[in-house]
Copies of this chain bind each other. A is one copy, B any other.
Amino acid sequence: MTMRLYSMPSSGNSYKVRLLLALTGRDCELVDVEDASDALIAAKADGALPFGKAPVLHLDDGRMLPESNAILTWLGDGTAFVPDDAFARAQMLSWMFWEQNQHEGVIAVRAALRSYPSRAHLATPERMADLLKRGHALLAVMEERLAARDWLVGDGASLADICLYAYTHTAGSRGGFDMAGFPAVCAWIERVAALPGYVGLDG
């Protein structure tokens, strides 16, 4: 089966899908649709991005699947990154919904406000300070969880780890968060990066 992933190279949401593809050794054609690019505008006009944003997975029969974490569940089905136990799978989804509802809107948004010139006018000092405080509180939730265990759910890496790694591993460099206060999170970041087949955000 040939698949095509519409992927924004600089985006953690797109990266988490590329990371799972690499970790599971699956081939997939990539179509780069960087922020504010002509390719992104064209893809939107073509109807290739149902919710108006990347990533979107296209199957060879034309079916399209948007939302990074839903794509992870589809690609992860039957792999070692989805636990066998039903409650562990629900816990995995719990972390993934938390990532989209809480973590991304703070950790990724602060990084985007610092990284993308098109959004710089939104980066007021008050907003950046508020995002910094809220981001440290979210990282503390992960720190508490990872202080006593290697992975977020179960005994091995799951989709929850791949999902949360995407924006957490650049929270210091891109988001400006102080990672020194979160040693268990930092150790977990190294653990993910040591997984066989790992690729970084820049390929």
Contact = CB atoms under 8 A, between A and B. Distances in A.
Copies of chain A in the complex: 2
Interface residues of A, number: 30
A69 interface: yes
A70 B91 contact: yes
Chain A interface helix/strand/loop/mixed: helix
Contacts of A63: 87
Contacts of A161: none
A22 interface: no
A116 interface: no
Closest 9 CB pairs of A and B: A70-B94, A74-B90, A100-B101, A67-B94, A70-B93, A67-B97, A69-B97, A100-B100, A97-B100
